[in-house]
A = this chain, B = another copy of it.
């Protein structure tokens, strides 16, 4: 039994098995994607037995949901922080939010893909949907303020959706690495700026 190696640190009651398991799964997803990871592997990584997770999660899908849930919070946090960094310039603010979104995808591509490709097992999860809407809300408020409208306005909704869509698509193309070889025509910040001005600019009304 090669157990007593770091005896002092090994407590039976792990203390944060749930948290560390989620972290392990997150790392594995980054390597092999949402379908590639296995509970066993995550347990090995976290240093616990393969049965331990079932005290904290119902099944495989439930673990994934947990990972995505945390990721949603991180994403929204990053977007909000970017938004707060530009209290004056609304165009720059919108660009910064978009850049935060893209950076998140670039930094955690596996998780990012998981967040949106999670169709199996539970279809729509109430909680996740609400968090998705919250993220979009950050964009919406910035757009609305730029246009001098209330966030609930149809025009604010339309344009923030268009911008989100653009950023979302670019993120996917970036992480799918179609861009190293495919034509990435211009520095990213200039691209963001161009699109932002096109959609939000004075004569861009729909």
> Which residues of chain B are within 8 angstroms of A198 by Cβ–Cβ distance?
162, 198-199, 201, 204, 206
Measured between C-beta atoms, what is the minimum distance from A70 to chain B in Å? Answer: 19
Give the contacting residue for A136; candidates B33, B157, B183, B193; CB below 8 A.
B183
Cα A170 to Cα B166 with chains together (Å): 8
Question: CB of A86 within 8 A of chain B?
Answer: no
Given the known A-B contacts A35-B36, A194-B206, are A161 and B177 also in contact in the complex, defined by CB atoms under 8 Å? Answer: no
Measured between C-beta atoms, what is the minimum distance from A138 to chain B in Å? Answer: 14
Cα A170 to Cα B163 with chains together (Å): 10
Measured between C-beta atoms, what is the minimum distance from A4 to chain B in Å? Answer: 39
State whether B201 touches A204 (Cβ < 8 A): yes
Interface-forming stretch among A9-17, A49-57, A184-192?
A184-192
Given the known A-B contacts A158-B186, A186-B206, A206-B190, are A132 and B178 also in contact in the complex, defined by CB atoms under 8 Å? Answer: yes
- Chain A interface helix/strand/loop/mixed: helix
Given the known A-B contacts A158-B194, A178-B132, A201-B203, are A120 and B33 also in contact in the complex, defined by CB atoms under 8 Å? Answer: yes
State whether A199 touches B206 (Cβ < 8 A): no
Give the contacting residue for A169; candidates B113, B120, B169, B197; CB below 8 A.
B169
Cα A116 to Cα B33 with chains together (Å): 13
State whether A119 touches B176 (Cβ < 8 A): yes
Could you mark each residue 140-167 of chain A with 1 if its beta carbon is under 8 Å from any beta carbon of chain B, else 0?
0000000000000010011001101111
> Which residues of chain B are within 8 angstroms of A183 by Cβ–Cβ distance?
133, 136, 157, 161
- Which A positions have Cβ atoms within 8 angstroms of B? 32-33, 35-36, 113, 116-117, 119-120, 123-124, 129, 132-133, 136, 154, 157-158, 161-162, 164-173, 176-178, 181-186, 190-191, 193-195, 197-199, 201, 203-204, 206
| A-B contact list, 11 entries, CB within 8 Å | A33-B35, A116-B176, A124-B181, A129-B178, A154-B185, A158-B194, A162-B194, A165-B173, A169-B172, A198-B199, A198-B204
